[in-house]
Amino acid sequence: MENRNKVLIISMLSGFGHIRAGEALLDYAKENIKSLDAHHIDICDIDPELKRYAKIYEFLSKRFPILWDFSYKYLPVSLTKKIVSLGGSTKSGIIDYIDKEDPDTIIFTNVVIVPMFINILKKRFPKTVLAVLVTDYHAHPYYVFKDINRYFVGHEEVKEELVRLGVKQQRVIVSGIPINPRFYIKQSIPALKKKYETNNGFPVVLLIASFRLSVSKIVLLVRQILSFNPRVNLIFIANGNKRLSRIIERLFSKEKRLKIVLWTNKMEEYIKISDVVITKAGGLTVSECLAIKKPMIILNPIPGQEEHNASFVEKNGLGKWVKNSDEVVKVLPDLLGKDYTSNSIIKENPSETIFKELGL
C-alpha cells in the first residue's frame, strides 16, 4: 500500500474565519495534492465542551468590547496560556483522535487552542511538524511558542512583528491567508450581475451585516446608501439574521436597487460583482476582498485583532476604517470608481505556498 503523508488541520469555531481557512487548505490539498492524506476538524465536534471558549469570545467581544479590548492588550500572556492549557488537561478524547490519525504535520488555524495540546503533542509525537496559521494581519505575543516549527502569516508586517516578539525568522513564512479556491476562479462579471439582478449600469455596494450595530442604525445605513447620489445597487447580506432580513424587506419592499440575501454560500460571487464591500474586519473577509482587489469600508471592528486588521487595510490604501455608520456615505465617493486591480499586496494562492513550505 502507498505511504501517504498525513496532515491534520485543526480549527476551533470562534467566528467563522478559522474554519474557513481550514476548509480552504483542505480543498486545495484534495484537488491538487493527491499523494496527501489531509483531514480538517473543528475540535468542538470532538469535544463540545470546548464551545465555551467560543462563547466566551462571542460574549466578551460583542457585549463587553471594552473588557475584551483590555484582555487583548493588557492581560499577561503567561496567565492566559496557563488558563487555556488547564482547559486542555482533560481533553484525552482529542489526543486519542490525534493519536489515531498519527499525522506527519498538524496545522492549527486557531492559535487560541495551542496551549491545550502543545506540550503533550511534543512528547507523544516528537517527529510531527507543528504549524500555526495566523488568520489576522497582526501578531499578538500569545502566538509565540518555542515548539511551533512553522508560522504562516498574511503579510511581511506580521512576520516582522513575530520576529520582534522572539520567533526565529526562518520559522515564519509570508504565505498569505488561505481562502476558498472559488475566489480565484475567473467568472463573467456581466453574467453574474445579470444573475443577481444588478445589471442596470449602477455601481454595486455589498453590505455584509455582521458588525455590532443596532437594527435602527442598520436601517438608517441602508436608507442612506439607497439615497446616495450617484445611484448605486445595494446587496444586503443579513448573515442568517431572519429578523433583520424581514425588517429590511418590509421597510424597503419597493426598492428595485436593493437585493436582500438572508444567507449565502456564494460570497465570492457577491464580492466579485461589487465595487465596494462594507464589512467588519475579520481576517478571512479582509483576505477575500484583497484577493480579488475590492476596496472595503470597515465598520465597527471588534477591539483587538479586528482593529489591527482595519488599520492594515487603511494604512495600505485598501479601504477606509470608519468609526460610526454615518461616515459610510461620506467615504463612499472616495472608493467608488477607483481601480484597485494593480494592487499586489497580498500573496496569490496561499494554500499552495503553505504545503510547499511544509514539503508536501
Q: Which residue has the cell 501578531?
A: 139
String of DSSP letters for 158-204: HHHHHHHTT--GGGEEE------GGGGS---HHHHHHHTT--SSS-E
- Let me know: does 173 contact 354? Beta carbons within 8 Å: yes
- Residue 33 confidence class, pLDDT cut points 50, 70, 90: very high
Residues 152, 353: Cα–Cα separation, whole Å = 9
Could you read off the pLDDT of 96-115 as tens digits, one per residue?
899 999 999 999 999 989 99
Residues 351, 208: Cα–Cα separation, whole Å = 25
Could you read off the pLDDT of 262-310 as tens digits, one per residue?
999 999 999 999 999 999 999 999 999 999 999 999 999 999 999 999 9
Q: Which residue has the higher pLDDT, 48 or 164?
A: 164
**CATH code for the structural domain at 5-174:** 3.40.50
Residues 35, 26: Cα–Cα separation, whole Å = 13
Instruction: Say yes or no to pLDDT of 89 above 70.
Output: no
Could you read off the pLDDT of 169-198 as tens digits, one per residue?
999 999 999 999 999 999 999 999 999 999
- Let me know: does 262 contact 279? Beta carbons within 8 Å: no
Instruction: Say yes or no to pLDDT of 40 above 60.
Output: yes
- Residue 54 confidence class, pLDDT cut points 50, 70, 90: confident
**Tell me, what's the pLDDT at 1?**
41
**Tell me, what's the pLDDT at 209?**
93
**Tell me, what's the pLDDT at 348?**
80
**Tell me, what's the pLDDT at 167?**
98
**Tell me, what's the pLDDT at 3?**
65
Q: Which residue has the higher pLDDT, 181 or 340?
A: 181
Rounded to 10°, the helix 114-124/92-101 angle is 50
Instruction: Say yes or no to pLDDT of 13 above 90.
Output: no
Q: Which residue has the higher pLDDT, 283 or 60?
A: 283
- Residue 50 confidence class, pLDDT cut points 50, 70, 90: confident
Residue 63 has, within 13 A of its CA and on its CB side, a CA count of 6
Q: Among 14-28, 179-193, 323-337, name the one with the lowest average pLDDT.
A: 14-28
Q: For CATH 3.40.50.2000, list the domain ranges present in the chain.
A: 182-335
Residue 207 has, within 13 A of its CA and on its CB side, a CA count of 26
Residues 265, 245: Cα–Cα separation, whole Å = 17
Q: Is 120 helix (H, G, I), strand (E, B) or coil?
A: helix
Residues 329, 226: Cα–Cα separation, whole Å = 10
Kind and range of the H or E element at 6? strand 5-11
Query: What's the rounded mean pLDDT across residues 18-37?
Result: 95
Instruction: Say yes or no to pLDDT of 77 above 50.
Output: yes
Going by C-alpha positions, the residue among 168, 44, 163, 194 that lies closest to residue 112 is 44
Q: Percent of the chain scored above 70 by pLDDT?
A: 96
CATH class of the domain at 182-335: alpha beta
CB atoms within 10 A of CB 1: 3
Q: Output the average pLDDT for the chain.
A: 92
Instruction: Say yes or no to pLDDT of 158 above 90.
Output: yes
- Residue 2 confidence class, pLDDT cut points 50, 70, 90: low
